[in-house]
Structure formats: C-alpha cells, structure tokens
Amino acid sequence: MSTLDILRVPVLSDNYVWLVHDKASGETLVVDPAVAEPVLEAAQAQGWTISQIWNTHWHGDHIGGNAGIVAATGAKVTAPAAELAKIPDVDRPVREGDRVRLGAHEAIVMEVPAHTAGHIAYHFPEESVIFVGDTMFAMGCGRLFEGTAEQMYTNMRRFEALPDDTRVYCAHEYTLSNGKFARQAEPENEAIAARLAQVEAARARDEATVPTTIALERATNPFLRAASIEELASRRAAKDRG
C-alpha cells in the first residue's frame, strides 16, 4: 500500500491533475497541471507546498499550469527529453529508465509513445502506483496522434505486465464513454457489463472513476485486451469514429 498521499484535482471539463505528497519529507509534486490556480489552491488547502512538476507529454492541457506554478512556488519541472522543443523551461529532461524522486520515493520513467511521440509514464514500483498521462485510461487508451498502433500495443503489454494491484492514475474522466465502447467491442464480456453499470451509477452521482487498477483493466479494457496490433488498431479506429 502506498505511503504517498495522492489528491485528485478536477480541472477544465474532464482533466484530472494529481498532487502527490510525501509526509516524511514534506515534499509535494504535481503531475500534468493543466492550469495553475486550482492546483495551487488545492495544495494550499492541504498545507502543502509544491516543489516539483512532472509532465507526461507536451499537450497544453498537461503543461498549461507549469509557468504559473513555477512562478508561485519555484517548483522544478521534469518532462520527457524527447519533447523539450514543445515544453518550455524544463529543469530535468528524462528518458526511459531514468529515476526521479519525491522524498525517499523513487519512480522509474517509462517511454510510452503513441499518443505523442515522446510520451512518458512515471512508475513507483514500491508504491504500486503509476501515472500514465493520456496513454491509458480506465477502459480505454489515448488517441494515436503522433504514433502508431504498434507502439500503443507495446505500451499495453508493458502495463499488462505490472502487478495486479498497481493503481493507475490517468489524466481524464473518460470512463463512461470508454465503457460504452468496451461493451460494443466485447459484448460477451460480463466483467465489462458489470463495470459499465458501476461507472454509470458513479457518474450519475458525479463521482470520479479513477484511479483504476491493472487487474481491473486486464478484465475490462478492450485496448489492453486486444490480442494483436491489428485488433488494437481496428478498435482504436472504431472508437475514433464514435
């Protein structure tokens, strides 16, 4: 079980920004701040001061709050080395296998391109926690804006290999639409049907449906469950068509 405090900050229409706090050191980081003010306010309400920003990729709804948070706190920015041209004022560019820390807690950088060419994830193996940005969602995966189905299939295999209890923190509340598509993609899958019913009830109460877990995604995510590159590509194209 993680000893990190992880706080969800809903912003914009469906983004989740994650505040991660280490009690022992008093350090706090923010993952993919779309905007600054709500994140700063959420940290202040907890009595936390942000010292680090970790970006998973360059899209504006993941880095838009960087400058404001840096100006307010002096936080240092960690971001994918492959996307430095698109993310300003990065203090530490990172690549596959690099290790980053929050207090005594160490995360390993995973390169997971497909949604963007340089997309990364941050995996805390000892905490059973991973921040995946827009690569994987609850019951879904990111659009292939700058990469290929083959890359996304490889990403799914890497995620699938993580322990069942790994908690997956993605950056959007897309589970309801993803669940409806999953039901179409695998109409015989009873686990998907049961989860979709739970998601529909949660969203009707305006409750969040993430984080998720690797075990749950193995059972209900049609992209993680795709048996081949071709099947993933076909499912992604069908989802894109709506």
Q: What is the torsional sign of CA 42, 45, 47, 49? A: positive
Distances (CA, A) of 138 to 78, 206, 230: 25, 16, 21
Compute and round to an integer the Cα radius of gyration of the chain: 17
- Where in the sequence numbering do the catalytic residues fall? 57, 59, 61-62, 115, 134, 172
How far is it, in rounded angstroms, from Cα 20 to Cα 6? 5
The rounded distance, in Å, linking the Cα atoms of 54 and 112 is 15
Beta bridge pairs of residue 16: 10
* Backbone torsions φ then ψ of 152, nearest 5 degrees: -65, -40
| Cβ atoms < 10 Å from Cβ of 213 | 17
105 neighbors 142 (Cβ within 8 angstroms): no
N- to C-terminal Cα separation, the chain = 38
**Largest Cα–Cα distance of the chain, in whole Å?**
52
Amino acid at site 86: K
| Token reading at 103 | 């207090």
